[in-house]
Amino acid sequence: MRGAALILAATVAATPLAAQDFFTLKGHGGPIMDIAVAPSGQITTASFDNAVGVWDGITPDWRDGHRAAVNTVLPLPDGRVASGGDDNDILIWDGDRPTRLTGHTAKVFGLALSPDGQTLASASWDGTVGIWPLAGGAPRFMRGHTQGVNAVAYRPDGLLYSASTDGNILLWDPETGEEKRLVLRHGFGINKMVLNAEQGWLAYGATDGQTRIIDLKTDEEIRDYTLGRRPILAMALSPDGSHLAVGDGEGYIMVIDTGQWRITRDFKATAHGPVWALAWSTNGQNIHAGGLDPIMYSWPLETLTEHGQMTPEEPAYLVDPDTVPNGQRQFQRKCAVCHTLAPSSARRAGPTLYNLFGRRAGTVEDYKYSETLTASDIIWTEDTVNALFDEGPDHYIPGTKMPMQRITGADDRADLIAYLKTATQPDEDTQ
């Protein structure tokens, strides 16, 4: 069935990937962090591999411009795409040419377009909501949350909701920057939020696993769909508003019929890890999802439980630590998500480690480095790899894209280096 779906997807141009069948999109080199679908049916994906994929079939057009993981994507009515990432920036893509919007001082986790299509709102972990005129001009930043902001959603009247790790949902007037009111104080961080203005409700999902629906007029809770799985990491409303999909940290996709207010599906979508991203096809018949696997999966709603899961095989970095040597275990925990040991970097978030020792930093040809690395004079040796993990990348190479992490135990660092010296050695037949 999968093969038939891929053939169909490749041949349908007017409504790309709108097949009412199971299919996958492959090409990313890291976990799928967000998925968005344009009215045309075009699918856009955001990944931990720093890339945005735009799919008009099963072959993507890549948008490479972020300097760190991409967390959120949003198709714009004029055909452009907006994306936000761990590099603190928002990129507006006109084809493969980005305009970079800067001003946030921490990662961007959510984007929303104003009802008139003129303004972009952003949610950032710097605790602010950014308001960006798409025609150009200086942004404004609204401050009211005490911690990072995860999600934003516009009402039809132009007012804006924001949800934060401080556990609060606030309502703003973006025109004046005025905080209108505190809508909700949950107590635990709120990760996701979906607005259905036509039906008069707002859904939110929190780190403690709570999934609740509140009334837009009264701000009172009207439904609770908490199943005890935490955290809630993804939410998506079908195009006609009839179904709400919810993804969590334990790998389930729950589907709620919003007309009858009942759970109609509760599918264990991943064998390992969370569901980070959800979106619906334009006809509302397929659910697209992403997680640890670098593949986007699409299941028909009607046959959701009849198809395979994401990540059917356990990723290397989740292997039982008692079954592998310590050096390999350190690699799997600290390196394997971002780096490959094969000659190609394979669109990973980091360059290949193949032939690492003796190589100058920033010189792998198929990887786009930060200026910090391309200008570096570091040569990777036992001593420099040891220093990297002893001090942490942010201290050893300030300005690097490499995520902050340390291996504090000297024996663990030594075991990792010993493993890498063997695992990164070039094959004899490639010499």
pLDDT at 372: 85
**203 bridge partner residues:** 194, 213
Least confident of 132-141, 207-216, 249-258, 393-402: 393-402
Q: Residue 203 pLDDT more than 60?
A: yes
Q: What whole-number distance in Å separates Cα of residue 331 and Cα of residue 417?
A: 9
Provide CB contacts within 8 A for 431, sequence distance 6+: none
What are the start and end residues of each CATH 1.10.760.10 domain in the chain?
Answer: 316-430
pLDDT-based confidence at 130, cuts 50/70/90?
A: very high
Which of the listed CATH numbers 1.10.3720.10, 3.90.380.10, 2.40.50.140, 1.10.760.10 matches domain 316-430?
1.10.760.10
Q: In degrees to the nearest 10, what's the CA dihedral of 400, 405, 411, 412?
A: -110
> Which tokens in the block code for residue 79?
């055909």
Q: Residue 266 pLDDT more than 90?
A: yes
49, 349 contact by CB (below 8 A): yes
Q: What is the pLDDT of residues 397-425, one digit of tens each?
A: 987 878 778 999 999 999 999 999 999 99
Asked if the 2-306 domain carries CATH number 2.130.10.10, the reply is: yes
> Which tokens in the block code for residue 119?
């303004």
User: What are the contacts of 259-263 at 24+ separation with CB within 8 A?
Assistant: 261/223, 263/225
Residue 390 CB neighbour total at 10 angstroms: 15
What are the start and end residues of each CATH 2.130.10.10 domain in the chain?
Answer: 2-306
pLDDT at 332: 85
Q: What whole-number distance in Å separates Cα of residue 105 and Cα of residue 18?
A: 38
pLDDT-based confidence at 27, cuts 50/70/90?
A: very high
Q: What is the pLDDT of residues 310-354, one digit of tens each?
A: 977 666 656 666 788 999 988 988 888 889 899 998 888 889 999
pLDDT at 312: 73
For residues 136-152, give the mean pLDDT. Answer: 97
